[in-house]
Amino acid sequence: MSKEIYENPDLKKERQNCPFNKEEITHLLDGGKEKTIERKQLENYILSDEQLKDAVPMEYLSHADKYAEELRKACLLMHKLADSPAGQVPTLRALMGAGLGSAVLKEGNPLALHYVMFIPALMGQGTIDQQAKWLEKAYNLNMIGTYAQTELGHGTFLRGLETRATYDPKTQEFILESPSLTAYKWWPGSLGKTANYAVVMAQLYTKGKCEGTHPFMVQLRDEETHEPLPGIVNMWLNPVCISSYIHYGTYVKPTNSKLSYATMVFVRVVVCQDVTTNLRKAVTIATRYSCVRRQSELKPGDREPQVMDYQAQQNKLLPPLAATFAFQLAADHLWNLYHTANNNIEQGDLELLPDLHGLSCALKALCSSEAANFVEVCRQSCGGHGYMSCSNFPRIYGQVTAAETYEGENTVLWLQVARYLVKTRKEQSGGLSVKYLIGEEKGPKTVDTTLEGIVKLYRRAAVGLVDVAIAELDKSGRKGEAPHDAWNHAAVYLIKAAQAHARLFVVESFVDSLKEGKLSAPVRTVLSQLCELFIIYWLLERSGDFFLCSNLTKQDLLLLNSKYVELLAAIRPQAVNLVDSFDLRDEVLNSPLGCWDGNVYQRLFDEAAKSPLNQSNVHESFHKYLKPLLKSNL
């Protein structure tokens, strides 16, 4: 007789009479039905492999054992990719997109940098000959690379990197050196124990002149023994300059000095998708748990309610639920822009480079910071159990907060966006992602609180805040301040303007996607509710920006607040059905709180039992330390 599959009765009830087709949303998020089939096949292919499962929870292993265990699984994963029926590269791409990597490699992926930065650097900056020499070797894993840019003393300010690559015309070689302690490469993933090659960013010196930072291919370790090559600690010999700027000893300037920053742009684009995947996991865990958890008393004398029935809990979880759709659609738009810009750049057309830089900085900073805040809210919404390591919130939070710093610290990226916006506004030049700065809203500043009316408010805030920042810069200039001081003294306004720009892009992506998308009526209804909830939520959170730049009144805000709480109530019944549409398997969620069947308490109990401390009633340390203390009559 088939074993009855347990399903928590509350979750079961949540799933009854779903008014929309969950699979339609799954296909939308995957990029189509075929992609969903592909993803599920990959998940089965990988998650069914017993060797990729952890014998004991990773948190109970030593640092060295964690590294060894993750490396074992990563190497096994590579064999599976190579043997994958879909082919290595498509499978790799699917793996990166589905958040599967962290389902298997929970403590970090020793080979991630090889794929996410080392290979993209070769593809984006290597010459044809260099790609012919190294790309196949890299894809075949006959070499493991990393991307070594950040130093102890510099991560943000690339023009301040100290590692030097001096070209010797006699030997036609580059001598790489770390001239000081602060020049030591620090932070590059896999650099410590895994990689045997690195793309090293260094200041290129030739004929006594510094030509700025350039990428160099450096072998770090012997390919057989894995021993560091001689001098690798602070003097690196025989690197090869990646790219083709040295012709017979003469430096040939690239068409744009920032092309050497291209790898970072690629990763910023990837990070938007990655933090969105992590946010989807956190929202799914918190939403299912909030429908299983019953606590306190809503109506005196009644049974304890599901905590999701508290408006306060809906206010915590439904905006991040809406954000997962908003960020996904924006990340898709950014990915498309990246491909268009990259194809153009390969043909020598750099026109879209500033837009790509501006938008990738804006969305990486916005999605990572918002996702980090939302993941923390999801954790808090699960009370004490959300704090447990096995909830998976600590790991998810660590992954999204890291993204606020790596690949360009967010504040620094916001200022890059502001630089681009001020320049564009002043030049009134075209610009893909600042189209609205040119086509700003004309006509009366009255507010209408329809969806279109709210989008117009976002547009006014984005344009208005750039103008406020420019007015601050001009005011400082009139006081005789030097441009760099004026810029520094306007930083608060500049960052607000950049963030308003990023929010407008996300809002317009969401609204436009719903207009263009071929959606069934029920799916359009629920996604439109999420869209309206989200853009009102952000407006209420940043109402100061809108007051500054429009005729928004107290009455308008009260009306929007009422609409917001109405939308919370309207979406509440579909919360579980919406997170079910993400189609995240339990192994990917990796959390007793978020499991599909809602059997939370038994799974929490089972997880606790795995602790080494729970393998005996009295731990040996009692006899060593506690018992003597108890007897010591202090």
Which residues sit opposite 209 in a β-bridge?
Answer: 206
The site string for ligand LVS2NKGU over 119-158 (x = CB under 6 A, - otherwise) reads ----------------------------x-xx----xxxx
Say how many C-beta atoms besides its own lie within 10 A of residue 6's C-beta: 11
Closest Cα partner for 333 from 135, 516, 579?
A: 516
Place of tokens 């109506």: 299
Amino acid at 71: L
213 bridge partner residues: 203
Select 406 or 547, whichever has its Cβ closest to ligand LVS2NKGU.
406
- The reply, when asked if residue 477 is annotated as ligand binding, is no
Residue 407 is a catalytic residue? yes
DSSP bridge partners of 307: none
How distant is the alpha carbon of residue 603 from its chain centre?
A: 29
Site residues (CB under 6 A) for ligand LVS2NKGU, limited to 274-333: 274
**Contacting range for ligand LVS2NKGU; rule: CB under 6 A; set: 90-98, 367-375, 533-541, 555-563:** 90-98
Question: Closest separation between CB of residue 67 and ligand FAD, Å?
Answer: 15
Supply the minimum distance, in Å, between the C-beta of residue 409 and ligand FAD.
4
Q: Taking CA 264 as the corner, what is the angle to CA 378 and CA 275, rounded to the nearest 5 degrees?
A: 15
Nearer to ligand FAD among residue 411 and residue 611 (C-beta): 411
As a whole number of angstroms, the distance between CA 319 and CA 419 comes to 30
Interacting residues with ligand FAD between 398 and 457 (CB under 6 A): 402, 405-406, 408-409, 411-412, 415
The closest residue (CB) to ligand FAD is: 155
Torsion, Cα of 451, 452, 457, 461 (10° steps): 110
Q: Which is nearer to ligand LVS2NKGU, 164 or 258 (CB)?
A: 258
The first and second tokens of residue 581, run together, are: 């549409």
Tokens of 348: 């020598």
Per rule CB under 6 A, is residue 557 in the interface with ligand FAD?
no
Q: Which of the following is catalytic: 407, 472, 508, 532?
A: 407
d(CA 18, CA 128): 54
Is 189 marked as binding a ligand?
yes
Quick one: what does residue 74 bind among ligand FAD, ligand LVS2NKGU, none, with the CB cut-off 5 to 8 Å set by partner type? ligand LVS2NKGU
270 part of the interface to ligand LVS2NKGU, by CB under 6 A: yes
> Which residue in the block uniquely carries the two structure tokens 């991040």?
320
Nearest to 311 by CA among 575, 10, 92: 575
Residue 417 binds: one of ligand LVS2NKGU, ligand FAD, none (C-beta under 5 to 8 A by kind) = none
Say which entry of ligand FAD, ligand LVS2NKGU, none residue 145 contacts (CB below 5 to 8 A, set by partner kind): none
The rounded distance, in Å, linking the Cα atoms of 524 and 20 is 9
From ligand FAD, ligand LVS2NKGU, none, interface partner of 411 (C-beta below 5 to 8 A by class):
ligand FAD
The amino acid that residue 265 corresponds to is V
DSSP label at residue 306: B
Pairing mode, strands 173-177 and 164-168: antiparallel
Residue indicated by tokens 């117009």? 456
Smaller CB separation from ligand FAD, 125 or 306: 125
Return the amino acid letter for 511: V
Q: What are the backbone dihedrals phi and psi of residue 364, each rounded to the nearest 5 degrees, phi first? A: -65, -45
> 121-180: which residues touch ligand FAD (CB under 6 A)?
147-150, 154-156
Instruction: Write out the two tokens for 2.
Output: 């088939």
Active site residues: 407
- For the annotated binding site, the residues are 150, 189
Footprint of ligand FAD on this chain (CB under 6 A)?
Answer: 113, 147-150, 154-156, 187-189, 402, 405-406, 408-409, 411-412, 415
- For the annotated binding site for FAD, the residues are 150, 189
Footprint of ligand LVS2NKGU on this chain (CB under 6 A)?
Answer: 74, 77-78, 92, 95-96, 101, 109, 111-112, 115-116, 147, 149-150, 155-159, 189, 258, 261, 264-265, 267, 270-271, 274, 353, 357, 406-408, 412, 416, 419-420, 423
